[in-house]
Amino acid sequence: MNATDRTPADLLRSALAADPGRPLVTFYDDATGERVELSVATFANWVAKTSNLLQGDLAAGPGDRVALLLPAHWQTAVWLLACSSVGVIADVGGDPAVADVVVSGPDSLEAARACSGERVALALRPLGGRFPQPPAGFADYAVEVPSQGDRFVPFAPVDPEAPALIVAGREFSAAEVVERARAEATGVGLTGPGSRLLSALPYDTWEGLNAGLYAPLAAGGSVVLCRNLDQLGEEALAKRIESERVSATAR
């Protein structure tokens, strides 16, 4: 990664320039048997489309607050980087009533209705599938995002020192996210480019977000993000660690 990168979106752009074909996020849901692997290029394309949706259709801009009511999931990682790209504040698990936009998974739709602004719902189904019946009052992410542009340019420059992330009551600027991710990468076992971290931590703390996204991105590594890992036996877990060439774990 480049020393001049000041935001998570900068880190992603540098990763894309360095090696677009390498894996970045590999996602497992052991409740459904789902496995999705996204290269840097594929992940960046999802981020660009989601950023265009956020900035264009949802009219979000720097300083706006986006409540993310989502579990640790590859689509959550996409939304976190889209928020960084646009310059809005990603409020993980935040109060929808004070948010300008809410992005909800299928289990938090009722709470998300407290948002008086734009509402987006994610079905979190395998292969990014849509809801069988769109939730009333919500835009279905899987319906809206495919038609968005593959290139994204923010309407306003993103300030690295502005608030960018709130999680577990702690606020971080974009620059702080990058600095902490770099500083803590070795502590979670990411020794450099090519390192591969398996994380089963939820996304409701800094530690979970760092292990599950930011540190691998900052270190030039990748993450094997596992949801419902408690449903996998130790023998099967050992096989996954071997087959995915995992070099460190966080769980």
Instruction: Kindly state the helix (H) or strand (E) to which residue 24 belongs, with its residue range.
Output: strand 23-29
- The pLDDT profile of the chain, 251 residues, written as one tens digit per residue, is 677 999 999 999 999 999 999 999 999 999 999 999 999 999 999 999 999 999 999 999 999 999 999 999 999 999 999 999 999 999 999 999 999 999 999 999 999 999 999 999 999 999 899 999 989 999 999 999 999 999 999 999 999 999 999 999 999 999 999 999 999 999 999 998 999 999 999 999 999 999 999 999 999 999 999 999 999 999 999 999 999 999 999 99
Residue 69 phi, psi (nearest 5): -100, 70
Answer whether residue 182 is part of any domain.
yes
Answer whether residue 3 is part of any domain.
no
Residue range(s) defining the domain that contains residue 107: 8-250
Q: Is 68 helix (H, G, I), strand (E, B) or coil?
A: strand
Answer whether residue 38 is part of any domain.
yes
From the list 68, 71, 65, the residue with the least C-alpha distance to 87 is 65
Answer whether residue 1 is part of any domain.
no
Number of structural domains (the chain) is: 1
Other CB atoms within a 10 A radius of the CB of residue 229 amount to 20
From the list 121, 99, 9, 120, the residue with the least C-alpha distance to 56 is 120
> Which CATH number does the domain housing residue 50 bear?
3.40.50.12780
Residue with tokens 């459904």: 32
pTM of the model: 0.98
Answer whether residue 124 is part of any domain.
yes
